[in-house]
Amino acid sequence: MSWPGTFKMAESGASGSGSSGDSLDKSITLPPDEIFRNLENGSLTKLAYYSTVQHKVAKVRSFDHSGKDTERDHEPPYEISVQEEITARLHFIKFENTYIEACLDFIKDHLVNTETKVIQATGGGAYKFKDLIEEKLRLKVDKEDVMTCLIKGCNFVLKNIPHEAFVYQKDADPEFRFQTNHPHIFPYLLVNIGSGVSIVKVETEDRFEWVGGSSIGGGTFWGLGALLTKTKKFDELLHLASRGQHSNVDMLVQDVYGGAHQTLGLSGNLIASSFGKSATADREFSKEDMAKSLLHMISNDIGQLACLHARLHSLDRVYFGGFFIRGHPVTMRTITYSINFFSKGEVQALFLRHEGYLGAIGAFLKGAEQDNPNQYSWGENYAGSSGLMSTSPELGPAQRARSGTFDLLEMDRLERPLVNLPLLLDPPSYVPDTVDLTDDALARKYWLTCFEEALDGVVKRAVASQPDSVDAAERAEKFRQKYWNKLQTLRQQPFAYGTLTVRSLLDTREHCLNEFSFPDPYSKVKQRENGVALRCFPGVVRSLDALGWEERQLALVKGLLAGNVFDWGAKAVSDVLESDPHFGFEEAKRKLQERPWLVDSYSRWLQRLKGPPHKCALIFADNSGIDIILGVFPFVRELLLRGTEVILACNSGPALNDVTHSESLIVAERIAGMDPVVHSALQEERLLLVQTGSSSPCLDLSRLDKGLAALVRERGADLVVIEGMGRAVHTNYHAALRCESLKLAVVKNAWLAERLGGQLFSVIFKYEVPAE
Q: What is the mean pLDDT of residues 438-464?
A: 95
- Per-residue model confidence (pLDDT) at position 16: 31
Q: Which helix (H) or strand (E) holds 567?
A: none
Contact criterion met (CB below 8 Å) for 358 and 321: yes
- Per-residue model confidence (pLDDT) at position 516: 94
Full 3-state SS string of 659-716: CEHHHHHHHHHHHHCCCHHHHHHHHCCCEEEEECCCCCCCCCCCCEEHHHHHHHHHHC
Non-local CB neighbours of 52 within 8 Å, separated by 6+ positions: 26, 27, 28, 29, 86, 87, 88, 89
- Per-residue model confidence (pLDDT) at position 373: 73
Spatial separation of the C-alpha atoms in residues 516 and 134, rounded to whole Å: 38
Q: What is the DSSP letter of 11?
A: E
Tally of helices (H runs) and strands (E runs) in the chain = 26, 28
Contact criterion met (CB below 8 Å) for 758 and 729: no
Share of the chain above pLDDT 90, in %: 60
CATH 3.40.718.10 at 441-516, yes or no: no
CATH 3.30.420.40 at 165-249+285-352, yes or no: yes
Say if residue 692's pLDDT is above 90: yes
- Per-residue model confidence (pLDDT) at position 26: 34
| Three-state secondary structure call for residue 368 | coil
pLDDT band at 281 (very low <50, low <70, confident <90, very high): confident
Residues 86-128: tens digit of each pLDDT: 888 888 877 667 777 777 776 676 554 455 566 677 776 777 7
User: What residue spans of 454-522 are helical by DSSP H?
Assistant: 455-464, 472-492, 502-515
Q: In b/e form, how buried is each residue of 148-173, taking b as 16+ CB within 10 angstroms?
A: bbbbbbbbbbbbbbbbbbbbbeeeee
Domain parsing of the chain, residue ranges: 5-13+27-63+73-161+359-415, 165-249+285-352, 441-516, 535-768
Half-sphere exposure of 624 (CA within 13 A, CB side): 31
Q: What is the mean pLDDT of residues 177-199?
A: 90
DSSP secondary structure of 206-253: S-EEEEEEES-SHHHHHHHHHHHH----HHHHHHHHHT--GGGTSEEH
Angle ∠(499,309,200) on CA atoms, nearest 5: 70
Q: Between 192 and 118, where is the model more confident?
A: 192
Spatial separation of the C-alpha atoms in residues 83 and 194, rounded to whole Å: 47
Spatial separation of the C-alpha atoms in residues 702 and 697, rounded to whole Å: 15
Question: Among 174-188, 303-317, 445-459, 679-693, which is the least confidently predicted range?
Answer: 174-188
Decide the pairing of beta strands 408-413 and 79-96: antiparallel
Q: What is the mean pLDDT of residues 687-705?
A: 97
Question: Among 55-69, 140-154, 161-175, which is the least confidently predicted range?
Answer: 55-69
Half-sphere exposure of 276 (CA within 13 A, CB side): 15
Q: What is the DSSP letter of 322?
A: S
- Per-residue model confidence (pLDDT) at position 166: 94
- Per-residue model confidence (pLDDT) at position 46: 76
- Per-residue model confidence (pLDDT) at position 160: 92
Contact criterion met (CB below 8 Å) for 709 and 422: yes
- The identity of residue 480, as a single letter, is R
Q: What is the mean pLDDT of residues 382-391?
A: 74
Question: How far is C-alpha 263 from the chain's CA centre?
Answer: 48
Residues 744-762: tens digit of each pLDDT: 999 999 999 999 999 999 9
Say if residue 507's pLDDT is above 50: yes
- Per-residue model confidence (pLDDT) at position 144: 81
Share of the chain above pLDDT 70, in %: 86
- Per-residue model confidence (pLDDT) at position 400: 37
Cα→Cα distances 322→167, 195, 400, 403, 542, Å: 16, 9, 17, 12, 67
What is the torsional sign of CA 336, 338, 343, 344? positive
Say if residue 37's pLDDT is above 60: no
- Per-residue model confidence (pLDDT) at position 34: 34
Any idea which fold 5-13+27-63+73-161+359-415 has? Answer: Nucleotidyltransferase; domain 5 (3.30.420)
Contact criterion met (CB below 8 Å) for 560 and 632: yes
- The identity of residue 601, as a single letter, is S
Return the number of other C-beta atoms located less than 10 Å from residue 684's C-beta.
10
Non-local CB neighbours of 169 within 8 Å, separated by 6+ positions: 175, 176, 177, 336
Non-local CB neighbours of 464 within 8 Å, separated by 6+ positions: 521, 524
pLDDT band at 355 (very low <50, low <70, confident <90, very high): confident
Q: Between 700 and 118, where is the model more confident?
A: 700
Q: Nearest Cα to 362, choosing from 497, 208, 134?
A: 208
Say if residue 67's pLDDT is above 50: no
Spatial separation of the C-alpha atoms in residues 252 and 449, rounded to whole Å: 48
Residues 542-592: tens digit of each pLDDT: 999 999 999 999 999 999 999 898 876 666 666 766 666 667 788 888 889
- Per-residue model confidence (pLDDT) at position 115: 54
- The identity of residue 102, as a single letter, is A
Q: Do domains 5-13+27-63+73-161+359-415 and 441-516 have the same CATH topology?
A: no
CB-based burial of residue 281 (10 Å sphere; 0-12 exposed, 13-18 middle, 19+ buried)?
Answer: exposed
- Per-residue model confidence (pLDDT) at position 727: 97
- In the CATH scheme, what is the code of domain 535-768? 3.40.50.10880
Say if residue 62's pLDDT is above 90: no
- Per-residue model confidence (pLDDT) at position 197: 95
Say if residue 71's pLDDT is above 60: no
What is the torsional sign of CA 232, 238, 244, 246? positive
- Per-residue model confidence (pLDDT) at position 35: 40
Q: Nearest Cα to 627, choosing from 730, 748, 717?
A: 748
pLDDT band at 399 (very low <50, low <70, confident <90, very high): very low
- Per-residue model confidence (pLDDT) at position 101: 79
Q: What is the mean pLDDT of residues 703-732?
A: 97
Query: Which of 96-105, 462-471, 641-650 has the highest mean predicted lDDT (pLDDT)?
Result: 641-650
